[in-house]
Amino acid sequence: MTMTDPTTAAHASVAAPRVAFPPGFAWGAATAAYQIEGAAAEDGRTPSIWDAFAKTPGKVLNGDTGDVAVDHYHRFREDVRLMADLGLTSYRFSLSWPRIQPTGRGPAVERGLDFYRALVDTLLEHGISPVATLYHWDLPQDLEEAGGWPVRETAYRFAEYAALAGAALGDRIPVWTTLNEPWCSAFLGYGSGVHAPGRTNPADALKAAHHLNLGHGLAVGALREVLPASAKIAVSLNLHLVRPLTDAPEDREAARRIEAVGNRVWTGPMFKGGYDEDLKADTAHIVDWDELVRPGDEAEIGRPIDLLGLNYYNPTVVSAPNGAVVETAEAARNDGHGDSEFSCWPGSEDVVFHLANDDVTAMGWPIDASGLSDSLVGMHNDFGLPLLVTENGAAFEDVVGPDGEVDDPERVRYVELHLQAVADAIAAGADVRGYYLWSFLDNFEWAYGYSKRFGIVHVDYDTQKRTPKSSARWYAEVIRRGGLA
Ligand code: FCB
């Protein structure tokens, strides 16, 4: 029997790409609930820690909040049509915990689930494969008031929510990720305090890290019980690609410390059987690990998963503490995505951060795509799992032209360099299954509010008008071609 491959037929007229990607490679874009949905008080949703944080004066630039955001809750059909027009084959979004289980306890709210059922059905009608993240930072505020992530109970609450979401939506969502960037939740949320809930206590930050890990493991177990056997489970980590400033032993020691508390704090228990001794030694004066980690926890966290997601933006260059070095404002921002007098590196507060180069985005983040290929190859070698780039992209000062168009060649350049890096990693043996550009739409960029635009689709925040930028049209061509020209 001859089978016609509809993909090949439709693409017959397109020239072969210079840099091709494997068949079935997912061409995606990503968003997160609080950053785009709005409808903050509709259909039973209650405040999350980000609602509370954004409403605390001085926490978010210009007092911006996600109350309305880009109104995706009401405009998702238009947004999905736009994704289909661009040819996206997959879409990564997050489920809002306080929309599904408002207080973090008790039964699911059907109206909340209905929104995601409708969103997912619309995606599937357009041939776009959904990837759902359970936790992109919007802890129900009630759970924060009961202690938040530094409290062990929150991990069990998370697993219960995962089971509710999985049972309701598992028939139509093939790929699930548990946590998005738990490093930010723990260390920016409870360490430097630049993210919600804005606490600044190093012990709480480390406790939050363990309970996020535990929540991940418990959620994997809970999901396996309710999802079809074909479903794949992942986690999205922002593993730092740490480079010592020089080869001096002191700088290499600084890199080791940042790798421990930035990366291995997650990957140790998730993939290597437990927390590394050096991490525990670096932080022993802050927490009692023997009390924090109960027997069986590391096995729970280490439940096998199917895919590993990497969120990559820039490399991290560090050197040893040195009284003579004055940290620049830019370098300080680079260490933790924001200004704070409190550190997001418990136990390694003195490590000095440097910009990898001066070629920076509007966030001040250096552009260096070699970090992406190095990360992917390293993850492939270390963990042996199929990989997804679950986020990569850049903010620039986009300008709407007199013709209403947004020309963003810098973003095209950034994405092209990073797609090339993904191709390089695949050529070096890494099993990378997809790429999710951050972000599909301009949106609420956390502590920066609406001041930073990451979208390939521009949003006019007064009218909510969507305008694909030239990067969106360029990405559509890459997808049609199946690679880079
Ligand atoms: C990541 C977040 C995402 C977005 C990008 C720019 O850390 O996961 O929500 O804010 O940064």
The secondary structure of 64-100, three-state, reads: CCCCCCCCHHHHHHHHHHHHHHHCCCEEEEECCHHHH
**Arithmetic mean of pLDDT, 164-187:** 98
Of 131, 237, 418, 446, the residue with max ligand 1 atoms within 8 A of its CB, to mutate for a pocket test, comes to 446
Q: How confident is the model at residue 334 (pLDDT cuts 50, 70, 90)?
A: very low
User: Quick one: the chain helix, strand, coil %, rounded to 5?
Assistant: 40, 15, 40
Q: Which of 37, 144, 181, 410 is catalytic?
A: 181
Active site residue 298: no
Cα of 71 vs centre of ligand 1, distance in Å, is 19
Q: Are 139 and 48 in contact (CB under 8 A)?
A: yes
Residue 7: pLDDT over 50: no
96 in any annotated domain: yes
- Arithmetic mean of pLDDT over the chain: 94
- The CA 173 to ligand 1 mean position distance, Å, reads 22
Instruction: Please compute the mean of the pLDDT values over residues 420-435 and round it to a whole number.
Output: 98
38 domain residue, yes or no: yes
- What's the total number of domains in the chain? 1
Per-residue CA distances from 458 to 30, 204, 308, 436, 466 (Å) = 14, 38, 29, 17, 6
In a domain, 12, yes or no: no
Contact 53, 461 (CB under 8 A): no
pLDDT over 60 (residue 327): no
Instruction: Write down the pTM of the prediction.
Output: 0.96
Q: Is 203 helix (H, G, I), strand (E, B) or coil?
A: helix
14: in domain: no
Q: Which pLDDT score is estimated for 329?
A: 44
Dihedral sign of CA atoms 445, 451, 457, 462 in order: positive
pLDDT of residue 321: 83
**In-domain check, residue 344:** no
Judge contact between 442 and 458, C-beta under 8 A: yes
Q: What is the mean pLDDT of residues 371-379?
A: 98
The pocket around ligand 1, CB under 6 angstroms, is made up of: 32, 35, 180-181, 184, 238, 311, 391, 438, 445-446, 454
* Cβ neighbours of 243 (radius 10 Å): 19
From 41-50, 160-169, 324-333, the region with the lowest mean pLDDT: 324-333
Question: What does the alpha-carbon distance between residue 181 and residue 343 come to, in Å, rounded to a whole number?
Answer: 17
**DSSP of 216-238:** HHHHHHHHHHHS-TT-EEEEEE-
What per-residue confidence (pLDDT) applies to 374?
98
Instruction: Check whether 375 has a pLDDT greater than 50.
Output: yes
- Quick one: pLDDT at residue 325? 52
In this predicted structure, the answer to whether residue 338 has a pLDDT above a threshold of 90 is no
Average pLDDT over residues 427-444: 98
- The values of phi and psi at residue 331, to 5°, are -65, -35
pLDDT at 241 over 50: yes
Which of 37, 181, 415 for a ligand 1 pocket mutation test, highest count of atoms within 8 Å of Cβ?
181
The pLDDT value given to residue 289:
98
Of all residues in the chain, what percent carry a pLDDT higher than 70?
A: 94
The SS3 of residue 484 is strand
> What pLDDT, on a 0 to 100 scale, did the predictor assign at position 94?
99
Q: Which domain holds residue 441?
A: 19-316+356-484
pLDDT of residue 358: 92
Tokens of 15: 């020239």
Lowest mean pLDDT among 232-246, 320-334, 379-393: 320-334
Listing DSSP states for 415-447 in one string gives HHHHHHHHHHHHHTT--EEEEEEE-SB----GG
Q: Is the per-residue pLDDT at 2 higher than 70?
A: no
CA of 107 to the centre of ligand 1 (A): 30
pLDDT for 337 equals 54
User: How many whole angstroms separate alpha carbon 190 and alpha carbon 208?
Assistant: 8
CB of 259 closer than 8 Å to CB of 242: yes
**Dist. CA 50–CA 41, nearest whole Å:** 13
Catalytic residue among 37, 259, 391, 445: 391
Between the CA of 445 and the centroid of ligand 1 the distance, in Å, is 7
Residue 259 appears among annotated catalytic residues: no
Q: What per-residue confidence (pLDDT) applies to 274? A: 98
Residue ID of nearest Cα to ligand 1 atom 10: 445
For the cut 80, the answer to whether the pLDDT of residue 5 exceeds it is: no
Asked if residue 441 belongs to a domain, the reply is yes
In a domain, 263, yes or no: yes
- CATH code of residue 306: 3.20.20.80
The ligand 1 atom nearest the CA atom of 238: 7
Look at residue 198 and tell me if it is in a domain: yes
The yes-or-no verdict on residue 43 having pLDDT over 90 is yes
Report pLDDT for 335. Answer: 55
In tens, the pLDDT along 280-325 reads 999 999 999 999 999 999 999 999 999 999 999 999 999 998 765 5
Contact 479, 89 (CB under 8 A): yes
